[in-house]
């Protein structure tokens, strides 16, 4: 795997989201977008507000919630005129969700799928008339032994990690959704000697 270094500050590889407060904080739409942006680089409240088109006061509130729950923190400060600008960063590259963190919070199990589906539909409509567009969607089924499924799961995990660690650049932010799951799809019976 390639060793990429975004963002521009040190952070842990993983952090387990353990409290209901953390879980609720990370699944609010604006806060989720803030946390996502901070994978690119550390940012000030002003930069986040300008990027998201949201007033600084509102961003400040959301940053406060994320900081209070330990999901982001100040990674550096910089003197700008007479004011000290705070640059915020994530505490971890990947947040691992646990069932004990969300006992009273209703988040749909298909949250990531529906979010990605909405973004995909918007991008498809926007790029419909382009001759070549950077969009791919496919669904495939394969009946494989459990050990092969485990290998695919591992490889997909490595690929998504590599994608998320890619050096930032360009003008477009791309999304990548990976889902790997057992299905109840029927299959034909095995035939002796068939390959």
Instruction: Convert the pLDDT of each residue in 80-104 to its tens digit.
Output: 788 899 999 999 988 887 766 665 6
Cβ(102)–Cβ(21) below 8 Å: no
CA–CA distance, 45 with 35 (Å, rounded to integer): 12
Q: What confidence score (pLDDT) does residue 5 get?
A: 56
Domain ranges of the chain: 1-107, 109-195
CA–CA distance, 97 with 16 (Å, rounded to integer): 6
> Does the pLDDT value for residue 62 go beyond 90?
yes
- Pull the structure tokens for residue 110: 């298909």
Supply the CATH classification number for the domain 1-107: 1.10.10.10
CA–CA distance, 78 with 86 (Å, rounded to integer): 7
Instruction: Convert the pLDDT of each residue in 4-34 to its tens digit.
Output: 456 889 889 889 988 888 888 988 889 999 9
What is the share, in percent, of the chain residues with pLDDT greater than 90?
A: 33
Cβ(162)–Cβ(2) below 8 Å: yes
């Amino acid at each position: 795997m390639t060793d990429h270094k975004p963002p521009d500050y040190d952070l842990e590889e993983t952090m387990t989201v353990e409290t209901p407060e953390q879980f609720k904080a990370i699944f609010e739409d604006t806060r989720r977008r803030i946390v996502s942006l901070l994978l690119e680089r550390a940012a000030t409240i002003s930069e986040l507000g300008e990027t998201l088109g949201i007033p600084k006061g509102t961003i400040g509130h959301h940053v406060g919630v994320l900081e209070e729950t330990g999901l982001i923190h100040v990674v550096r400060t910089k003197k700008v005129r007479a004011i000290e600008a705070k640059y915020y960063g994530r505490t971890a590259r990947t947040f691992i969700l646990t069932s004990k963190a969300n006992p009273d919070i209703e988040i749909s199990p298909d949250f990531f799928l529906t979010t990605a589906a909405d973004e995909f539909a918007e991008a498809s409509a926007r790029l419909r008339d382009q001759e070549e567009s950077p969009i791919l969607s496919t669904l495939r089924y394969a009946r494989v032994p459990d050990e092969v499924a485990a290998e695919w799961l591992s490889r997909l995990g490595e690929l998504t990690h590599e994608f998320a660690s890619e050096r930032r650049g360009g003008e477009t932010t791309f999304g990548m959704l990976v889902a790997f799951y057992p299905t109840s799809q029927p299959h034909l019976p095995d035939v002796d000697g068939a390959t």
